[in-house]
Amino acid sequence: MHPRETVDRALRLSALGYNDRQVAAFCGVSLGAVQKWRTGARRAREDQDRRRSTNCPLCHGRTLDRRSYAYLLGLYLGDGHIVLCRKRVYRLSIFCSDTWPGLIEAAAEALAAVMPTSSVSRRQHTGCTEVKSYSTHWVCLFPQHGPGKKHQRAIVLAGWQEEIVTEHPGLFARGLIHSDGYRGTNRVRRPVGGEDKWYEYPRYLFKNESADILRLCGETLDRLGVAWRHNKRNEISVARRDAVARLDQFVGPKY
Q: Does the structure show a pLDDT above 70 at 102?
A: yes
Q: Does the structure show a pLDDT above 90 at 248?
A: yes
Q: Does the structure show a pLDDT above 70 at 175?
A: yes
Question: Which helix or strand (DSSP H or E) is residue 87 part of?
Answer: none
Do residues 119 and 111 touch, judged by C-beta distance below 8 A? no
Sheet containing strand 195-207, strands side by side = 181-192, 195-207, 235-238, 229-232
Q: Does the structure show a pLDDT above 80 at 207?
A: yes
Question: Which helix or strand (DSSP H or E) is residue 79 part of?
Answer: helix 66-79
Please compute Rg for the chain using Cα positions. 25
Q: What is the DSSP letter of 250?
A: T
Q: What is the pLDDT of residues 108-157, one digit of tens each?
A: 999 999 998 888 999 999 999 999 999 989 999 999 998 888 988 999 99
Q: Which residues contact 32 (CB under 8 A, 6 or more apart)?
A: none
Which of these, 218, 219, 212, lies nearest to 156 by C-alpha position? 212
252: left (phi over 0), alpha (psi -120 to 50) or beta: left
Q: What is the pLDDT of residues 38-80, one digit of tens each?
A: 887 555 455 555 555 557 888 877 889 999 999 999 999 998 9
| SS3 (DSSP) at 54 | coil
Axis crossing angle, helix 169-180 with helix 101-114, rounded to the nearest 10: 130
Comparing 62 with 227, the larger pLDDT belongs to 227
